[in-house]
């Protein structure tokens, strides 16, 4: 049996996707899963420069195995960053083959693959997207699905509905949605409360959890102990809360 590949997509940028991915990694490890984190395409950093998404995953979730398949210096979508840099990058098919190799290892239960932004951001110069990456994995017999990270603010329901429509159109499984930042001080704005109620209706998928604002500033021990209370992963015991 192969490990599952859980693709992490966002509905926008700067919405807490990497911190949410770290929480997913930490929660899965707390549930006894052997987890590998992958960032197929890291942009905005020079080779050897610290501060990658994989670095952030290890800082928050502990000493987890991480992989980065390609790095590009400009903070752009991978295809655009490769064009500006004048370099070739792996194709989506190449990324899928590398992920499948990890998923087929005997010592891995879950591969968490964080995309670059949204579902249809181009990961290669041939127009391949994270959606195409997931389709290639499924066609190769790899169990694969999505968790979508969203901002809980006004307008998110439309972005989530559009993302879900794109997933459904391509026949790609989606486990559910996570709000990447959730206020912990003071009264929760009315629109956020209503979005919690409405998101399952507009997407047909569950809201799996809410990551507290400021979670990315926690130390490793506090983050890993708290992450299982912020979200519920499919196939794991229900969490005791959502960080709200």
pLDDT tens string 166-183: 999 999 999 999 999 999
Interval 215-239: pLDDT, tens: 999 999 999 999 999 999 875 443 4
* pLDDT at residue 4 tops 50: yes
Instruction: Specify the pLDDT at position 233.
Output: 86
Give me the chain's average pLDDT, please: 95
Taking CA atoms, 85 is separated from 53, 78, 81, 235, in Å, by: 20, 10, 6, 42
* pLDDT at residue 241 tops 60: no
**What's the length of the chain?**
244
Output Rg (C-alpha) for the chain, integer angstroms: 17
Instruction: Specify the pLDDT at position 235.
Output: 55
Q: Please, what is the Cα angle at 215 between 243 and 244, to 5 degrees? A: 15
Buried b (16+ CB within 10 A) or exposed e, 39-48: bbbbbbbeee
Q: Work out the number of other CB atoms within 10 angstroms of the CB of residue 16.
A: 24
Q: Work out the number of other CB atoms within 10 angstroms of the CB of residue 188.
A: 15
The answer to whether the CB of 44 falls within 8 A of the CB of 83 is no
Instruction: Specify the pLDDT at position 237.
Output: 40
Catalytic residue among 4, 39, 135, 210: 39
43: enclosing H helix or E strand: strand 35-43
Q: What is the spatial distance between Cα 161 and Cα 117, in angstroms, rounded to a whole number? A: 16
Instruction: Specify the pLDDT at position 65.
Output: 98
Q: What is the spatial distance between Cα 29 and Cα 52, in angstroms, rounded to a whole number? A: 21
pLDDT tier at 186 (50, 70, 90 boundaries)? confident
Active site residue 237: no
Buried b (16+ CB within 10 A) or exposed e, 116-140: bbbbbbbbbbeebbbbbbbbbbbeb
176: enclosing H helix or E strand: strand 174-182
CA-based torsion, 174, 31, 25, 100: positive or negative: negative
* pLDDT at residue 127 tops 80: yes
Pairing of strands 35-43, 65-72: parallel
Greater model confidence, 109 or 244: 109
Can you give the pTM of this predicted structure? 0.94
Interval 65-79: pLDDT, tens: 999 999 999 999 999
Interval 50-70: pLDDT, tens: 999 999 999 999 999 999 999
Q: Work out the number of other CB atoms within 10 angstroms of the CB of residue 106.
A: 8
Instruction: Specify the pLDDT at position 244.
Output: 37
């Amino acid at each position: 049996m192969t490990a599952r590949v859980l693709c992490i997509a966002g509905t926008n940028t700067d919405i807490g996707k990497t911190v949410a991915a770290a929480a997913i990694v930490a929660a899965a490890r707390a549930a006894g899963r052997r987890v590998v984190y992958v960032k197929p395409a890291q942009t905005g950093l020079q080779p050897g420069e610290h501060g990658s998404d994989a670095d952030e995953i290890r800082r928050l979730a502990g000493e987890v195995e991480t992989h980065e398949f390609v790095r590009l210096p400009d903070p752009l979508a991978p295809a655009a960053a490769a064009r500006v840099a004048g370099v070739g990058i792996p194709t989506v098919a190449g990324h899928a083959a590398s992920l499948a190799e990890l998923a087929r290892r005997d010592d891995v239960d879950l591969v968490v693959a964080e995309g670059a932004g949204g579902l249809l951001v181009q990961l290669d110069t041939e127009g391949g997207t994270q959606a195409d990456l997931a389709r290639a994995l499924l066609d190769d017999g790899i169990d694969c699905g999505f968790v979508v990270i969203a901002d809980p603010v006004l307008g998110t329901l439309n972005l989530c509905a559009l993302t879900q429509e794109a997933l459904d159109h391509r026949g790609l499984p989606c486990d559910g949605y996570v709000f990447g930042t959730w206020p912990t001080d003071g009264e929760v704005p009315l629109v956020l409360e209503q979005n919690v109620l409405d998101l399952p209706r507009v997407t047909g998928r569950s809201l799996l959890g809410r990551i507290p604002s400021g979670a990315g500033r926690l130390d490793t021990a506090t983050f890993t102990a708290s992450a299982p209370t912020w979200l519920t992963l499919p196939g794991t015991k229900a969490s005791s809360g959502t960080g709200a």
